[in-house]
Structure 1
Amino acid sequence: MAARIYQRPKSAMQSGKAKSEQWVLEFEQSEARRPDPLMGWTGSGDTQAQVSLTFPSKDAAKAYAQKYGIPARVHATPPKGLKLQAYADNFR
């Protein structure tokens, strides 16, 4: 039951930074998804894949994983670049 720890990226539909500073611990799937023969939906018997825990910092998420013996990989957050340009640059 491995997990991954990452910082949730900002949605393309957001202009603010709400919930972008939180760190998320998600469990990886332990079994493959398969289609349901009646409805055609995909699913699996793995209920841990539905669990998503949020933490205020990366260290808190790592401490939780260590406390409960969960092997976790930390995915680095890509650097946030700010592209500064003036309105007048559109007419050059």
Structure 2
Amino acid sequence: MTARIYQPSKTATQSGTARTKGWVLEFEPSEPREIDPLMGWTGSGDMKSQVKLRFAEKDEAVAYATRNGIAYRVEEPPPHRRRIVSYSDNFRSTRLGPWTH
């Protein structure tokens, strides 16, 4: 029973940073998923793969895992690289890219 502690990234349809500041403790699957022959749905008998615990801080998630004897690994988020560009940069005279319209 191994757990993964990580900070979730934002989805592609998300413009803000909601629900990305907290930390998640999620159990790794202990048995593989299988396809149901009748319906074609994918399922598993592993109930712990459905559990996601949310914490405000990484230290809280690590403390919970150690207190309950859960083996864990922490995945640090990559550094955020955000380039701030203004609308007026499209019309500046020193623009490097070609004008396309």
Q: Which aligned runs of 4 or more in structure 1 are off by greater than 6 angstroms?
A: none
Q: Secondary structure of the residue that 2:70 maps to in structure 1?
A: coil
Higher Cα Rg, which structure = 2
Ranges in structure 2 where 5+ consecutive residues have no aligned partner: 96-101
Identity of aligned residues (%): 58
Per-residue CA deviations over 1:63-83 (Å, capped at 9, x if unaligned) read: 000011110100011111120
With the length of structure 1 as denominator, give the TM-score of the two structures. Answer: 0.91
Which residue identity lines up with residue 59 of structure 2 in the other structure?
D
CA distance in 2, matches of 1:55, 1:83: 29
Ranges in structure 1 where 5+ consecutive residues have no aligned partner: none
Shift, 1:18, TM fit: 1.5
With the length of structure 2 as denominator, give the TM-score of the two structures. Answer: 0.84
Task: Tell me, yes or no, if structure 1 residue 11 matches structure 2 residue 16.
Answer: no
Q: Higher relative contact order by CA 8 Å / sep ≥ 6: 1 or 2?
A: 1
Q: Secondary structure of the residue that 1:88 maps to in structure 2?
A: helix
Residue pairs, 1:18-37, within 5 angstroms: 18-37=18-37
